[in-house]
Chain A
Amino acid sequence: MRSFNHLYKFHGGLHLPDNKAQSTQRPLSAAPIPPRLVLPLQQHIGEAAEPVVAVGDKVLKGQMIAAPQGYISVPVHASTSGTVVDIGQHPVPHPSGLKAPCIVIEADGEDRWIELNPIGDRYRELDLNELRMAIRDAGIVGLGGAGFPSFIKMNPGPRRHVDLLVINGAECEPYISCDDLLMRTHADDMLQGVAILMHALQVKQCVIGIEDNKPEAIEAVRAAVQAHGNSNIEVVVIPSLYPSGGERQLIKILTGQEVPSQGLPADIGVVCHNPGTAVAIQAAIYRGEPLISRIVTLTGQGIAEPQNLLVRIGTPMHFLVEQSGGYTEKVDRLLMGGPMMGFALQTDELPLIKTTNCLLATSRSESPAPPAPLPCIRCGQCADACPADLLPQQLFWYARARDFDKAQDYNLFDCIECGCCAYVCPSHIPLVQYYRFAKTEVWAQERERDKADVARQRHEFRLERLEREQQERAAKLRKKKEAIQGDKKDSADDKKKAAIQAALDRAKAKKAANGVAPKNTENLTSAQQEQIKAADARRTAAKQPKDNN
Chain B
Amino acid sequence: MITAILAVGLLAGLFGLLLGYSAIRFHVESDPVVDQIDAILPQTQCGQCGFAGCRPYAEAIASGAAEINQCPPGGEAGIRALADLLGRDFIPLNEEEHGEHKGKVVAIIDEQVCIGCTLCIQACPVDAILGAAKHMHTVIEEECTGCELCVEPCPVDCIDMVPVKTDIEEWKWPSPDERLSINNQQASA
* Residues of A participating in the B interface, judged by any CB pair closer than 8 Å: 42, 92, 94-96, 98, 100, 372-373, 400, 402, 430, 433-434, 436-437, 439-441, 443-444, 447-448, 451-456, 458-462, 465
Contacts and interface: CB of A to CB of B under 8 A. Distances in A.
A437 B174 contact: yes
B134 interface: no
Chain B interface helix/strand/loop/mixed: loop
A462 B126 contact: yes
B145 interface: yes
A434 B145 CA distance: 29
Contact of B126 (A96, A447, A455): A455
A458 B128 contact: yes
A481 B176 CA distance: 70
Given A95-B171, A96-B171, A98-B167, 16 more contacts: A98-B166, A372-B183, A433-B179, A437-B176, A443-B172, A444-B170, A448-B42, A452-B41, A452-B42, A452-B43, A456-B43, A458-B143, A459-B126, A461-B127, A462-B125, A462-B126
Contacts of A444: 170, 172
Nearest to A89: B167
Given A440-B171, A454-B143, A400 B177 contact: yes
B38 A98 contact: no
B43 A440 contact: no
Interface residues of B, number: 32
Contacts of A400: 175, 177
A460 B55 CA distance: 9
Given A434-B175, A440-B171, A444-B172, A459 B125 contact: yes
Given A402-B77, A434-B176, A456 B171 contact: no
Contacts of A460: 55
A440 B171 CA distance: 8
Contacts of B177: 400
Closest 8 CB pairs of A and B: A452-B43, A455-B43, A440-B172, A458-B126, A96-B171, A436-B173, A433-B176, A437-B173
B69 interface: no
Interface in B36-72: 38, 41-45, 53-55
B167 to A, nearest CB: 7
Interface of B: 38, 41-45, 53-55, 77, 80, 125-128, 143, 145, 166-168, 170-177, 179-180, 183-184
A437 B127 contact: no
A94 B173 CA distance: 11
B43 A459 contact: yes
B143 A98 contact: no
Contacts of A437: 172-176
B91 to A, nearest CB: 17
16 contacts: A42-B168, A98-B166, A98-B171, A100-B167, A400-B175, A402-B77, A437-B173, A437-B175, A440-B171, A452-B43, A453-B43, A458-B126, A458-B127, A458-B128, A459-B43, A462-B125
Nearest to A466: B122
Contacts of A430: 176
Contacts of A96: 166, 168, 171
Contacts of B44: 455
Nearest to A404: B77
A433 B43 contact: no
Contacts of B127: 458, 461-462, 465
